[in-house]
Amino acid sequence: TRVLGIEGTAWCASAAVFDVTGDDVRIFSDAYQPDSGGIHPREAAEHMRSAIPAVVAEAVELVESKHGAPGGAIDAIAFSRGPGLGPCLRIAATAARALAGSLDLPLVGVNHMVAHLEIGRHRSGFDAPVCLNASGANAHVLGYHDGRYRVLGETMDTGIGNAIDKFTRHVGWTHPGGPKVERRAKDGEYVALPYVVKGMDFSFSGITSAAQDAIDDGTPVEDVCRGLQETTFAMLTEVSERALSLTGADELVLGGGVGQNGRLREMLETMCAERGASFYAPEPRFLRDNAGMIAVLGAKMYEAGDTITIDESRVRPDFRPDEVPVTWRADDGS
Ligand code: ATP
């Protein structure tokens, strides 16, 4: 099976080719970089519109150069249906429909958050892991039960990446803020910030405000960065541990752009080691938004016969992972 995937939920216009034989994933991406502030939805859509044709052309050319005419060399076109920014999703979906229609290929509509999870499961070979999705616009802990990935815990307000980026905008740093916070935190002393876990859910907005106040009060930025990372990542680690305990799973995978953070990976790794669980974080190109994960899950769905017609392919800006019937794995009922 060979699937061409298209990703366009927000900032990353991306296309990829996944060959099941050889487990080979080639990704072509073009990132939107705001001049100032965070992601502006209208600018993100303009970037998506101008960037999608070139990345899709690169993926098609790769197939053509290696395997001949794409219509005969690709089995399906997969695209991210949501969640994400509506205007961006519609542009990527239009490209996917045009390609599927013109090449007469089936279309696969992929949930972006399930793709963040499945790429970790695919690369690790784990069977039924708990997954921590720590991305820009989202933060949730998922566990597999009875044919679906259930949301065991999630943010009650913003995504973890957005919380960090909001803080760095206050400091005056350019987007994305996460890598800058990681670098500066290494030189900082821990400062306490509000730790908010309620049941299995967590909240970041109060922490962002407290971190901004600490900067305004003259606390060194390195120290606030350190406090911000230690606090938010400890919350994510606590809920991940409770999800492992609750489900009896002994495997944890990480997904999403904030998963590129070494300190988050270290905390999760330590927690897993202490309870005898296995931990896997995919390489950075599969953590941040990318079409590789869309193509990989698209191939699994295609092989399971989980395709949609163009008429059924409307985008879903609020698409939740627990709405997706998991058609591509054998269900042992556990
Ligand atoms: P979603 O997948 O929920 O739609 P998204 O499209 O914003 O979210 P991702 O690519 O998963 O995107 O994540 C982007 C986020 O990752 C940004 O908020 C960025 O600051 C954060 N990030 C990137 N590198 C790091 C890092 N080293 N440490 C912490 N955060 C990071």
Query: Which residue, judged by its Cα, is nearest atom 18 of ligand 1?
Result: 161
Ligand 1 near 257 CB (within 6 A): yes
Q: Measured from the CA of 138, which atom of ligand 1 is nearest?
A: 3
Q: Is a pLDDT exceeding 90 seen at residue 157? A: yes
Confidence of residue 37 (pLDDT cuts 50, 70, 90): confident
Q: What is the pLDDT of residue 50?
A: 98
Mean pLDDT across the chain: 96
Q: Would you say domain 124-283 falls under CATH 3.40.462.10?
A: no
Calculate how far, in angstroms, residue 239's C-alpha sits from the geometric centre of ligand 1.
19
Residues of the chain with CATH 3.30.420.40: 2-115+287-323, 124-283
pLDDT of residue 129 exceeding 60, the answer is yes
For the chain, the first-to-last Cα distance in angstroms comes to: 29
Helix (H, G, I), strand (E, B), or coil: what is residue 87?
Answer: helix
CA-CA distance, 221 to 189, in Å (whole number)?
A: 10
Confidence of residue 36 (pLDDT cuts 50, 70, 90): confident
pLDDT attached to residue 223: 98
Taking Cα atoms as reference points, which of 168, 120, 163, 162 lies closest to residue 141? 120
Q: Is 155 within 8 Å of 190 (Cβ atoms)?
A: no
pLDDT in tens, 220-273: 999 999 999 999 999 999 999 999 999 999 999 999 999 999 999 999 999 999
Q: Is the CB of 289 under 6 A from ligand 1?
A: yes
- Degrees, nearest 5: CA angle 46-52-53: 115
Ligand 1 centroid vs 256 CA: distance in angstroms? 6
Per-residue pLDDT at 333: 40
What is the three-state SS of 261-324? CHHHHHHHHHHHHHCCCEEECCCHHHHCCCHHHHHHHHHHHHHCCCCECHHHCCCCCCCCHHHC
Ligand 1, atom 16, lies closest to the CA of 257
Beta carbon of 256 within 6 Å of any ligand 1 atom? yes
Q: Dig out the tokens for 177 from the structure.
A: 């803020």
State in words which class domain 2-115+287-323 has: alpha beta
Angle at which helix 221-247 crosses helix 262-274, to 10 degrees, equals: 40
pLDDT greater than 60 at residue 332: no
**What digits encode the pLDDT tens for the residues 61-86?**
999 999 999 999 999 999 999 999 99
CA of 172 to the centre of ligand 1 (A): 18
Write down the pLDDT at residue 198.
97
179 lines ligand 1 (CB under 6 A): yes
CA of 255 to the centre of ligand 1 (A): 10
7 lines ligand 1 (CB under 6 A): no
Q: Are 149 and 324 in contact (CB under 8 A)?
A: yes
- State the greatest distance between any 2 C-alpha atoms of the chain, in Å, as a whole number: 63
Cβ of 154 closer than 6 Å to ligand 1, yes or no, is no
268 ligand 1 Cβ < 6 A: no
Question: Is residue 334 pLDDT above 70, yes or no?
Answer: no
Per-residue pLDDT of 295-305, as tens digits, reads 999 999 999 99
Complex confidence, ipTM:
0.97
